[in-house]
Amino acid sequence: MRQIFPFMLLLMLWSCKKTAVAEADLQYLNGYWEIAEVEFPDGSKKQYSVNPSIDFIKLKDGEGFRKKMQPQFDGSYDTSNDTEFFTVSENQETYTLRYKNEFSEWEEKLVSVDSLSFSVTNEEGVTYSYKRFQPIKIPK
């Protein structure tokens, strides 16, 4: 039993370790994303199964933009003229997306990002989880 205790303690500490977003992972933000889930500060969640619009994100050298798109059945996209520009800044191994337009300013903390998903938490404590958009392929 004495031999198992240090191993169990190490396993518990390792599993509780928070993984930070690495700078190299920011590249994964580029592309098309659809919202999968929203988690509110009270713990309640809203799931999204079908999305009429998706987000296109382009990031380069710490600056980027997000644009709403509507996928079409032919593989093309309709888009709005609204573009949200943002910058990315790092503070104590945390990356923040800072948006600013003529009407408003807001921030989102990047919680996680990889090639298939990412999530951000806004200033009100609402967490938005996204998954990589996969276009619907209709056979011809």
Mean pLDDT for each 10-residue chunk of the chain (140 residues)? 48 49 96 97 94 95 95 86 93 92 93 97 98 80
- Beta-carbon contacts of 57 under 8 Å, excluding residues fewer than 6 positions away, are 29, 30, 31, 33, 64, 65, 66
DSSP state of 21: P
Q: In 2-136, which ranges are E strands?
A: 31-39, 45-47, 54-60, 63-71, 77-91, 94-100, 105-113, 117-122, 127-132
CA 78 to CA 53: how far, in whole Å?
A: 9
Domains of the chain with bracketed CATH = 23-132 (2.40.128.280)
pLDDT of residue 4: 53
